[in-house]
Amino acid sequence: MQLHVSPSMRSITISSSSNEFTTSDLMKIKLAARHISYRTLFHTILILAFLLPFVFILTALVTLEGANKCSSIDCLGRRLGPRLLGRVDDSERLARDFYTILNEASTQEIPHGLKLPDSFHHLVSDIKNDHYDAKTFALVLRAMMEKFEQDIRESKFAELTNKHFAASSIPKGIHCLSLKLTDEYSSNAHARRQLPSPELLPLLLNNSYHHFILSTDNILAASVVVSSAVQSSSNPEKIVFHIITDKKTYAGMHSWFALNSVAPAIVEVKGVHQFDWLTKENVPVLEAAESHNGVRDYYHGNHVAGANLTETTPRRFASKLQSRSPKYISLLNHLRIYIPELFPNLDKVVFLDDDIVVQRDLAPLWDLDLGGKVNAAVETCRGEDEWVMSKRLRNYFNFSHPLIAKHLDPEECAWAYGMNVFDLKAWRKTNIRETYHSWLRENLRLNLAMWKLGTLPPALIAFKGHVHVIDSSWHMLGLGYQNKTNIENVRKAAVIHYNGQSKPWLEIGFEHLRPFWTKYVNYSNDFIRNCHILEYQ
């Protein structure tokens, strides 16, 4: 913007440069023919110099805010006038009127059978063709938003339900692996060889060795647990694994470890049918749990039918689905409560779930002084993670039931299964198993009125006063629940636990967390290759 005074001092011109080649006059002031003193001219120039920066700033603001360019004084006047005079812009008044209309529409009932456009494009078209008034437009817009919100909500619940079924199913590759290894057991004598070899049998009872117990029917998962523990150990020759599986999986599980040695570590594979102690007389409550109609309906029935989805949140719904996994009434899942009876000659063991990975030498766990306690475990109420590490007893029990309210504190911290050190000598001096059975039996009688979620709630009661808390770095949980897990914390943890639905062997597993598990899968193995295990990666 430039100021030009004519040589004759009869006119003053204000001009702006459109570009470096062209200019346009914004204002031209013609002066009277009378003589003007230099003092008057100086004052005039001084006033204009003072005003011009403000004119320039307002012009810049208008140019930036407006979509159309102003190329005339008339246009600038219309745009700058209301601002200079303190008047409200029409757009601001329109926004206030629009808010008033929408606010009124939010309290009115949406007419029955109101036709709703399918998209914003159709909405604009309907406004043009049907000549909507403001009220009708507001009601249609509100109805569209509510419909979209409901569709999104229903889609979220459908996604959670499908994820639950995916998590409960057996992947084709893992099923194939079990079948092929079972067939190998019947046709290959080497696959049936004794585990461990006869000369190593005494070591199964030797308490100077580090004994791990793993209960699972997932051959691939068991292979990862064993391989990761052995590879992470500084003294693998001191490791003894006791793997317990069900009758249908026994042949395949035995074949895998007979054909894939983890020497110098020792592996024993036993089926539940091979334990003389596991009779109906000794585990009557579990027999009842598997045959109880209410229990079977709860865990195997339709998980969505009858559910009032309007009164729950997706997070609560996901938690309820997780608690209805059929694994929670599996004998393999309850076996941990019978470890002192199943291994009467052992003094101390580490119990591992099949969805964990060992990343650090666990030998120091056998040197832990439990102070007379039975179960060394990490607490799950002191972490930053609100989904996994904020669990107290109120999260597992129905405190509206008088028995629960009488015996338990809702604010008491919970602890985790998955990686536990059990002092079996101390355990055998307690009534933990009897307490577990008593509460489980009562909950069955009350048709699951006190708690819904499987094996941990009765254990939280039975082990009350018998838990020795260990540092959380020994056992990191939640890798199967959420994808926001801190990767640096994962790398540092001694044991990482994929508890939750998104197991690493499933397609719904989290991609960035899966490599911590797959690094221990032997992809060169013929059975793994032929069954196309995790080939989608």
DSSP assignment string, 221-233: HHHHHHHHHHHH-
Q: Which residue has the higher pLDDT, 360 or 133?
A: 360
pLDDT at 67: 43
SS (H, E, C) 66-79: CCCCCCCHHHHHHH
The number of beta carbons lying within 10 Å of the beta carbon of residue 378 is 23
Region for residue 289 given its phi and psi (left: phi exceeds 0; alpha: psi -120 to 50; beta: otherwise): alpha
Candidates 337, 343, 380, 354; CA nearest to 469 is 380
Task: Say which residue the tokens 């919970």 belong to.
Answer: 414
Domain boundaries, the chain: 117-168, 171-531
Q: Exposed e or buried b for every residue in 76-91, given b needs 16+ CB within 10 A? A: beebbeeeeeeeeeee
In contact, 373 and 467? CB cutoff 8 Å: yes
In contact, 500 and 478? CB cutoff 8 Å: yes
Q: Is the pLDDT of residue 490 over 80?
A: yes
Q: What would the pLDDT profile of 400-458 be if each residue is shown by its tens digit?
A: 999 999 999 999 999 999 999 999 999 999 999 999 999 988 988 888 899 976 789 99
pLDDT at 382: 79
Backbone phi and psi for residue 264, each to the nearest 5 degrees, phi listed first: -85, 0
- Looking at the chain, the whole-number percentage of residues with pLDDT higher than 90 is 48
pLDDT at 96: 78
Q: Is the pLDDT of residue 304 over 60?
A: no
Tell me the whole-structure pTM to 2 decimals. Answer: 0.72
Backbone phi and psi for residue 405, each to the nearest 5 degrees, phi listed first: -60, -30
pLDDT at 262: 96
Q: Is the pLDDT of residue 49 over 80?
A: no
In contact, 374 and 432? CB cutoff 8 Å: yes
Give the model's confidence band at 145: pLDDT under 50 very low, under 70 low, under 90 confident, else very high.
Answer: confident
Average pLDDT, the chain: 81
pLDDT at 492: 94
Residue 206, burial from CB neighbour count under 10 angstroms (0-12, 13-18, 19+): middle
pLDDT at 77: 58
pLDDT at 4: 62
SS (H, E, C) 349-406: EEEECCCEEECCCCHHHHHCCCCCCCEEECECCCCCCCCCCCCEHHHCCCCCCHHHHH
Q: Which CATH number fits domain 171-531: 3.40.50.300, 3.40.50.1110, 3.90.550.10, 3.40.50.2000?
A: 3.90.550.10
Mean pLDDT along residues 51-61:
62
Q: Is the pLDDT of residue 90 over 90?
A: no
pLDDT at 297: 55
Give the model's confidence band at 156: pLDDT under 50 very low, under 70 low, under 90 confident, else very high.
Answer: confident
pLDDT at 215: 96
In contact, 166 and 308? CB cutoff 8 Å: no
Give the distance from CA 76 to its chain's centroid.
56
- DSSP character string of 416-453: --SEEEEEHHHHTTS-HHHHHHHHHHHHHHTTS-S--S
Most confident of 70-79, 287-296, 449-458: 449-458
Q: Which residue has the higher pLDDT, 84 or 203?
A: 203
pLDDT at 428: 97
In contact, 387 and 533? CB cutoff 8 Å: no
β-strand pairing of 23-30 with 11-17: antiparallel
- Looking at the chain, the whole-number percentage of residues with pLDDT higher than 70 is 71
Give the model's confidence band at 58: pLDDT under 50 very low, under 70 low, under 90 confident, else very high.
Answer: low
- Region of poorest pLDDT, from 195-199, 216-220, 498-502: 498-502
Helix axes 134-168, 314-323, angle to 10 degrees: 20
Q: What would the pLDDT profile of 11-45 be if each residue is shown by its tens digit?
A: 656 565 555 555 555 555 555 555 556 667 666 77
Q: Is the pLDDT of residue 324 over 70?
A: no
Q: Is-cis flag, bond preceding 196, omega within 30?
A: yes
pLDDT at 537: 46
In contact, 358 and 228? CB cutoff 8 Å: yes
Mean pLDDT along residues 474-481:
91
Q: Which residue has the higher pLDDT, 436 or 328?
A: 436
Residue type (1 letter), 408: L
pLDDT at 431: 96
Sign of torsion over alpha carbons 386, 388, 392, 396: positive
The number of beta carbons lying within 10 Å of the beta carbon of residue 317 is 19
- Region of poorest pLDDT, from 154-168, 218-232, 308-322: 308-322
Give the distance from CA 425 to its chain's centroid.
38
pLDDT at 52: 67
pLDDT at 299: 53
Q: Is the pLDDT of residue 189 over 50?
A: yes
pLDDT at 465: 96
β-strand pairing of 348-352 with 419-423: antiparallel
pLDDT at 14: 58
pLDDT at 375: 98
The Cα–Cα gap between 389 and 170 comes to 28
Q: Which residue has the higher pLDDT, 398 or 170?
A: 398
Q: What residues pair up with 288 in beta bridges, in sequence order?
A: none
Sign of torsion over alpha carbons 396, 399, 403, 408: positive
Mean pLDDT along residues 355-375:
96
